[in-house]
Amino acid sequence: MKRRNILIFTFIVIALLTLNSLFIFDNQDEIAEESDLVDKTQISSQKLFDNTWKIIRDNYYDAELNTQSWSRWRDHYHGKIKTDDDAKVAIDTMLASLNDPYSRFMNKEEYAEQNNSINSKITGIGVNIASTAGKIHIVNVMDGTPAQSANFMPDDIIFSVDGKEVNGLSLSEVANLVRGPENTSVNITILRDNNKISKRVIRKEIKIKTVKGSVIDKNIGYIQIISFVGSTTPNEFLEALEKTKDTDGLIIDLRGNTGGLLPNAVFIANLFIPSGNIVSIVGRGGYRYNIDAQDTEYTINKPTIVMVDGASASASEILSGALKDYKKAKLLGTKTYGKGMVQKILPMPNETGLNLTVAKYLTPNGVDINKKGINPDIKVELNIKDVKNNTDPQLQAAKTALSKDIISGNVNAKQ
């Protein structure tokens, strides 16, 4: 299924990290606090470039740095970096030479937005927006947010923010106009049915839910993991399990989930896998580190179907790969994306940040899925016609397959 060719933003945050978003921390067992992720040390822009150059040289997964002499970049930019903008352009150029789509340098604003996504804590009004034909329009309104209270609606066109017309501005520029401290107000003028409507809205902290759980067909638990980015994802998954505890089987929907934090995927996999290796991390020089299951008070033993597609990547593949290898679940849908590289978040001076590829990962069976993906056990396509007709043959197939597994399990239990 082709993705919509529009860029969607959550107001006051950039869109959640996509295919370059699998991160690890120095402490594998903890999610870092926001303060741990920001280096407020102020240094010269030239030194910022020099420090970044050295960190890449010493830590990048490929010690040969894409078969090039890394010193050429230090020599090329020596004495030429005057501002942090200069540093970013130079670092971006240097990173591009690695031919690695996942390593990226972020300026202060971009890095703050990434940290907001990780902490699932943002301040704004609570709408998703898109740019179509030069117009910024609202895609959807989040429940329980200031935007819902102010009666914003999908398809409203944003005309101005605090008197500044947004025509010709990028999505990020519009988002920056709307962003602001909690409990401050912003005046937004929209176009609805060619009528201008102005609304003054008080900005509030908005929690981004990454997991949704419900009961379908009376005896099936349906849990959708939208992203592994949020630090609250493990608790949200446990809440979804509690909501579906009386069901006979589970469907875990990872379609469109492009990744997130490594510890989140490991935590959820550990609920199904009580012992053994969950994922192997292979670092620079071939050093291999196995992340093993830990003792838990609860293990999921229900028949489970995991739904995947071509956008299921990174942390989604760690979870689905582990469950497939241990035969704890059947995968249904289409082949996953195939992102088997690991990035580490590196706080940099001047409140900037670097996501650097430091390793690759292998599934419990030692399979390298990078650029290959994981094939489902049950292949079911979802095409454009299905989307237009608001039908979901993959979900229907998952319910059918799971029902058969539930019946089979009940029969075996009685024998």
- Among 120, 312, 314, 316, the active-site one is 314
What residues contact 148, with CB distance under 8 A and at least 6 apart?
Answer: 126, 141, 142
Answer whether 364's CB lies under 8 Å from 44's CB.
no
* 8 Å CB contact between 322 and 362: no
CA-to-CA distance for 241 and 247, rounded, in angstroms? 10
| Integer Cα distance of 335 and 342 in angstroms | 20
Which of 84, 100, 325, 405 is catalytic? The answer is: 325
Q: Which of 328, 330, 339, 344 is catalytic?
A: 339
State the greatest distance between any 2 C-alpha atoms of the chain, in Å, as a whole number.
78
Q: Tell me whether residue 399 is one of the annotated catalytic residues.
A: no
- Pick from 249, 299, 283: nearest CA to 362: 283
Q: Which amino acid is at 414?
A: K
- The verdict on whether 314 is a catalytic residue reads yes
Which residues are known to be catalytic?
A: 314, 325, 339
